[in-house]
């Protein structure tokens, strides 16, 4: 069992309480009063005792008979579940997606902790689960099933039919309209995020929460020099090849042509994250994949990026360097709310364009489009 370091035991009028502090207070975590048995158990839990050790301890303390053991065991289980529900302790079995607690996932190079009722997100992230990292997570996301108790004022950066995004000195605040998610509060580097939502487990509500978590993730990814581009991807010759274009251009159609004609696996049907590993451009798997339901958690070298444009004929064009960067920037979904975001995105786009080939494919929706693109890649 891993103890949440943001709780401490304090005596209030000689009554023991577990009291939250620091970020736990900011997230409105609750205090927990301990009775005599709970206080005894906590004295052992805080020293690292396991569940069987707790049972032996209580048995010796109360001189319990064999008939008393089942009741003691159940009492210990109930107390541990209560501690988990308050997020005072977190299970060591981080791959066990059950109940309430903190679960760990890895996306790209980021180790992420998700804290909340796992039924709200486990079906989307269980494929990315991992063991608890030895070091502090790159990002901590807490999911709270109630509205925020206070509202921060900030400068509005974006306003549309779905969100109002504002900025304070140290955070971004997303207010969602017409959604089961109330708000998202994120540190500017994405290291800490709190999502306030309704305790609604309908498919629509879970999808909206999944989308809100993506906003938080994109902030952390960009802070760690990884950018997400709207594109479909295939695996060809051991590398990921991305096909991007405005909605309706036919990126799904084009990647499906590759799959049908050349048996190339589709890696993700909608989004791909690009980063660098020892100077080489790579594509990291993402759980977000639009409506395609096609994704991978694996990482592959980036082969190149093709920007699609519908045309009555099929033709491959090598864009000028300025066009390469412009095409790339226009397809990013990473944060672009501030001038600093745009400047960082341009630097990253230039680095990618200097590393792998970019193409402009004027194309029809016929198999010939995939054929001509494949010929061009094979001739590199």
Does residue 189 lie in a domain region? yes
Task: Give the domain extent around 336.
Answer: 227-378
* CATH code, domain with 353: 3.90.228.20
The torsion defined by the Cα of 117, 123, 126 and 127, in degrees rounded to 10, comes to -160
Left if phi > 0, otherwise alpha if psi is -120 to 50, otherwise beta: which for 165? beta
The confidence score (pLDDT) of residue 380 equals: 79
Q: How many independent structural domains does the chain possess? A: 3
Give pLDDT < 50 ranges for the chain. 91-99
Per residue in 63-89, pLDDT (tens digit) is 999 999 998 998 898 888 888 877 788
The confidence score (pLDDT) of residue 328 equals: 97
Judgement on whether residues 232 and 217 belong to the same structural domain of the protein: no
CA of 128: how far to CAs of 148, 219, 256, 331, in Å? Answer: 29, 19, 25, 25
Map the chain to HEC letters. CEECCCEEEEEECCEEEEEECCHHHHCCCCCEECCHHHHHHHHHHCCCCCHHHHHHHHHHHCCCCHHHHHHHHHHHHHHHHHHHHCCCEECCCCCCCCCEEEEEEEECCEEEEEEEEHHHCHHHHHHHECCCCCCCCCEEEEEECCCCCCCCCCEEEEECCCEEEEECCCEEEEEECCCCEEEEEEECCCCEEEEEECCCCCHHHHHHHHHHHHHHHHHHHHHCCCEEEECEEEEECCEEEEEECCCCCCHHHHHHHHHHHHCCCEEECCEEEEEEECCEEEEECCCCCCCCCCCCCCEEEEEEEEEEEECCCCEEECCCHHHHHHHHHHHECCCCCCHHHHHHHHHHHHHHHCCCCEEEEEECCCHHHHHHHHHHHHCC
Residue ending a domain, choose from 18, 48, 81: 81
Does residue 92 lie in a domain region? no
The confidence score (pLDDT) of residue 88 equals: 87
Give the global pTM: 0.75
The confidence score (pLDDT) of residue 99 equals: 47
Judgement on whether residues 48 and 106 belong to the same structural domain of the protein: no
Does residue 302 lie in a domain region? yes
The confidence score (pLDDT) of residue 95 equals: 38
Judgement on whether residues 134 and 211 belong to the same structural domain of the protein: yes
The confidence score (pLDDT) of residue 100 equals: 56
Judgement on whether residues 112 and 240 belong to the same structural domain of the protein: no
Q: Which of 267, 269, 256 is nearest to 230 (CA)?
A: 269
Q: Is the Cα dihedral 264, 354, 297, 116 positive or negative?
A: negative
Bridge partners (DSSP) of residue 227 are 274
The contacts of residue 163 (CB under 8 Å, 6+ apart) are 174, 175, 176, 177
Beta-carbon-side half-sphere exposure of residue 295 (alpha carbons within 13 Å): 21
Residue ending a domain, choose from 223, 258, 277: 223
* CATH code, domain with 37: 1.10.10
The confidence score (pLDDT) of residue 23 equals: 63
d(CA 320, CA 286): 30
Judgement on whether residues 249 and 340 belong to the same structural domain of the protein: yes
Judgement on whether residues 20 and 157 belong to the same structural domain of the protein: no
Does residue 86 lie in a domain region? no
d(CA 24, CA 51): 25
Does residue 88 lie in a domain region? no
Residue ending a domain, choose from 223, 247, 264: 223
Does residue 91 lie in a domain region? no
Judgement on whether residues 237 and 357 belong to the same structural domain of the protein: yes
Judgement on whether residues 374 and 256 belong to the same structural domain of the protein: yes
The confidence score (pLDDT) of residue 151 equals: 74
Does residue 94 lie in a domain region? no
CA of 254: how far to CAs of 232, 245, 258, 283, 367, in Å? Answer: 9, 11, 7, 19, 8
Judgement on whether residues 71 and 117 belong to the same structural domain of the protein: no
């Amino acid at each position: 069992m891993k103890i949440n370091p943001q709780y401490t035991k304090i005596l209030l009028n000689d009554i023991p309480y577990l009291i939250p502090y620091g970020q736990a207070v900011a997230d409105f975590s609750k205090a927990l009063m301990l009775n005599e048995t709970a206080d005894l158990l906590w004295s052992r839990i805080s020293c690292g005792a396991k569940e069987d050790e707790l049972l032996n301890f209580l048995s010796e303390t109360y001189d319990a008979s064999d008939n008393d053991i089942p009741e003691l065991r159940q009492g210990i289980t109930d107390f541990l579940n209560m501690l988990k529900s308050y997020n005072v302790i977190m299970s060591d079995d981080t791959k066990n997606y059950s109940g309430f607690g903190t679960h760990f996932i890895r996306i790209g190079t980021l180790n992420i902790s998700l804290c909340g009722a796992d039924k709200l997100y486990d079906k989307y992230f269980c494929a990315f689960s991992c063991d608890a990292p030895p070091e502090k997570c790159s990002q901590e996301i807490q999911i709270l099933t109630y509205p925020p108790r206070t509202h921060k004022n900030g400068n509005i950066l974006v306003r549309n039919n779905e969100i109002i995004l504002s900025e304070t000195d140290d955070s971004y605040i997303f207010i969602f309209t017409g959604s089961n998610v109330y708000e998202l509060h994120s540190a500017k580097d994405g290291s800490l995020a709190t999502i306030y939502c309704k305790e609604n487990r309908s498919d629509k509500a879970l999808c909206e929460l999944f989308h809100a978590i993506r906003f938080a993730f994109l902030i952390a990814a960009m802070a760690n020099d990884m950018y997400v581009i709207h594109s479909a991807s295939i695996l060809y010759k051991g590398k990921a090849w991305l096909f991007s274009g405005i909605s309706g251009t036919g990126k799904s159609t084009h990647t499906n042509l590759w799959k049908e004609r050349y048996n190339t696996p589709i890696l993700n049907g909608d989004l791909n994250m690009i980063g660098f590993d020892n100077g080489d451009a790579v594509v990291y798997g993402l759980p977000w994949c639009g409506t395609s339901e096609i994704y991978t958690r694996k990482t592959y070298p980036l082969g190149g990026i093709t920007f699609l444009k519908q045309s009555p004929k099929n033709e491959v064009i090598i864009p000028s360097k300025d066009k390469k960067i412009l095409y790339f920037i226009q397809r990013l979904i990473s944060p672009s709310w501030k001038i600093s975001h745009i400047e960082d995105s341009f630097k990253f786009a230039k680095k990618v364009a200097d590393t792998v080939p970019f193409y402009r494919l004027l194309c029809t929706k016929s198999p010939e489009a995939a054929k001509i693109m494949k010929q061009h890649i094979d001739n590199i």
